[in-house]
Homo-oligomer: A and B are copies of this chain.
Amino acid sequence: MNKATIYNVAYAANVSLATVSRTLNNPQKVKPETRDRVLRVIKDLGYKPNAFAKGLASKKSTTVAVIVPDMSRASVAEMVNGIAVEARKYSYSLLLYVLKDEKVEELEMMKEIVASQVDGMLYLNDEINEGQYAMLNTIQEEYKVPIVLANTLYPYDNKLVTVCIDYYKAAYEVTNRLINEGRKHIYLLTTSRKYMVNDLKEEGYLKAIKEAHMSPNVIRTSGDISVNTIHFNELFKDGETPIDGVIAVRDSIAVSFINTMIEKGKSIPNDISVFGFQNTKYASLSRPKLSCVDIPINDIGAKAMALLKHEIDGEVNEVKFNVLPHSIITRQTSK
């Protein structure tokens, strides 16, 4: 039975409930002997403080909300892993909210989350527009609950603490890799749905292309494999379209493209050099193995959680934009 309350412990240890509370929350304020005695009783009775009572009295929950668009995206899941490990360090619990298939207004949902008394929020979402950003900021100001954005960003403002990598730079670099390989017809495969991070990748790509006096080729397609496969098949139907370099905004899109082209008789990377973005398991499982930009997605999650903890503790993070280092991994789809 979990019936053991602080009163039972107090009684059995022959102290007041205040002392029990202290040995748990401010041990240094309790005489070692009594502390040990109380601790023994706590163990004997298997006492665990009731989280509700504790939260109600202290106005703190040691719980943070993790808001994700869709758990089944590899990058999201991996980030959650990072968050979980870091959260454990501070004994924080995670309240998970999956936006997928959600019809409730996001603002309403955020308010609900606030009412659940979380100490802070982690917002993991590739896309964030002006309205959402403003909404999140309002929530943060109004309810005094710190919010940290992980692997997403809104480049036009910097009120919310953000952790991500420099997508613009990464795309710029990887495009230059292809240019330096001697590729002349470099394509960017991006999503038709708008994502801020993908827009940044596009800008980086365009910059490198422009600097090389080449002409840009941006293809917007679906993240759904079956859909984009059809799309690629149509676009490169004749096999005559000049194309010798590709950067995809996601590994899965890159792999899907590779499969399509190889089936059309192209050789990778001889005919076409391909780079993905993220370094997911898809990259290692493709044949040939995918070269890609490696994003420290686990670390992004951990860092975001660490910064949130910082804010919760009342220490302001002066630096709002936290950029983690990326790297480019050369495997078998590039030279």
Contacts and interface: CB of A to CB of B under 8 A. Distances in A.
A91 to B, nearest CB: 9
Contacts of A246: none
Contact of A50 (B56, B98, B111, B226): B56
Interface stretch (A152-160, A210-218, A256-264): A256-264
Contact of A285 (B81, B101, B282): B282
Contact of A52 (B61, B70, B111, B226): B61
Given A96-B94, A285-B225, A56 B52 contact: yes
A307 to B, nearest CB: 19
Contacts of A63: 95
Copies of this chain, how many?
Answer: 2
B66 A96 contact: yes
Given A52-B55, A285-B286, A287-B287, A98 B80 contact: yes
A164 to B, nearest CB: 19
A317 interface: no
A27 interface: no
A117 B63 CA distance: 13
Which 8 residue pairs are nearest across A and B when measured between Cβ atoms? A48-B115, A84-B98, A52-B55, A52-B56, A77-B77, A96-B96, A94-B96, A259-B287
